[in-house]
Amino acid sequence: MLENDYIKYDALGLAELVANGDVSAEELLSCAEQRCQNKNPALNAVVTPMWEQALTAIKNGLPAGPFRGVPMPLKDLGQHYQGVVTSNGSRLFADNVSDHDSTLVQRYKASGLVLSGKTNTPEFGLATTTEPVLHGPTRNPWSLEHSTGGSSGGAAAAVAAGMFPVAHASDGGGSIRIPASCCGLFGLKPTRGRVPLGPTAVEGWGGLSTTHVVSRSVRDSAALLDISAGPEAGSPYHAPHTAESFSSAALRPPKPLRIALCLKTFNGAQVTEEIRALTEQSAHTLESLGHHIEPIQHSFTPEIVRDAHGTLAISHIGAMLNGKQDALGRPLTERDIEHVTWTNFQSAQNVTGAQYAAAVSSIQRHGQMCASLFECYDLILTPTMACLPPAIGALNTMSEDAESYLNLLYQMIGFTALFNDTGNPAASLPLSISTGGLPVGCQLIADFGAEALLLSISQQISDAGFFTKFLS
């Protein structure tokens, strides 16, 4: 198979070629490697190639799963592949060789996927851009001077540049949806507890974080959710069971839906006029498909939204770093980690048990408020981000200018982070291009456990030809 043919297919399309004997897994791996050699030097998306491990897996015989022979990278955060470094984007973990496979990695392998590398991520997934000191910045395939977003920025760049048809990603405040928006991809954040995070963790950031993929096609996302969803031994909770497969749900066009349009961020950040206008165009697109759009004003308190999410996130980062310094037998210093991480680490030491409990209560209340919206509406439509993809360097994790950093950060997560609090499934859809030629996503949010509806309407929109053309 030629490289130009390889990039024409999504993951399921490539798997079908393998199943039919039209191409071998070795040929697909060779195409992925060649594409990476051509594109990655400029983009810095893949930071740990795993070509040898991938070839060994193929030679040992791949399971006859739905993705047999398809190459895919893992995000270098949280997910472990035995014998390969999981750096978490940090110099502090640069030599952290995993001694086991994560549950999700086991499920990926069982589906026939050929795990072929690790993608770049900001340190501990804390930034909404992918510019870690450890590996350097990942650049956007649409414009090398712009960010891919974060924290799954390496994954999004790898898919947008055609290195891989799909890539593993994770989301603790928008980290699947924001890179998907910045790079013109489909990015679904599943319901809390839908995909396991073990065996070394039972939940991420106190339930804020979950994991899935960024993809070029809706059907790939649906099929990958089919093979990854479901509790593991010891799961303290899990998402509601769905009798129908997500793949089947994606194929069934939805009935006319009631969709609430919200153009006001949940954390108080300002929305640019261009983003507002492009999201209103997306609303018209949905109306053209027979859905009813109703503008709404939400009643979430920005300060409480910001504080609750931040308290949970930094507390869990603090706990992880406290454990690391205990393992090292010495206190951490600012030389060990990036400035923004250090600031969060110091703040975490001052969080009291009462403050943490109050934050948990706040996000639970947010979930109740969100649930009440779905008594009136089937979906919520928002921008994915309140601003366009920022320039490389605009979010500098080594900067001491906290105000500028936070203002841009809040713009980027102003529509996404709330649904990490509530646990609702949410997806970024590639529906617009800015006047400057950058992709702009819109976000659809469904009721708790209702990924099937999100996949159904996303496939409907894609089938109607409204998705941004894949960048080749």
Q: Would you name the residues annotated as active-site residues?
A: 75, 151, 175
Q: What's the CA gap between 113 and 443, in Å, rounded? A: 28
Task: Could you list the beta-strand ranges (E) of 51-137.
Answer: 71-75, 114-119
- DSSP letter, residue 60: T
Compute how many other C-beta atoms are within 10 angstroms of the C-beta atom of residue 394: 16
Which pairs count as long-range contacts for 268-272, CB under 8 Å and 24+ apart, including other chains? 268/302, 268/303, 268/306, 268/410, 268/414, 269/386, 269/407, 269/410, 269/411, 269/414, 270/386, 270/411, 271/383, 271/386, 271/387, 271/414, 272/386, 272/387, 272/388
Nearest-Å Rg of the Cα atoms of the chain is 21
- DSSP letter, residue 391: B
Q: What's the CA gap between 12 and 224, in Å, rounded? A: 10
Q: How far is CA 351 from CA 303, 308, 347, 358, 398, in A?
A: 17, 12, 7, 11, 23
Q: What is the torsional sign of CA 169, 173, 179, 180?
A: positive
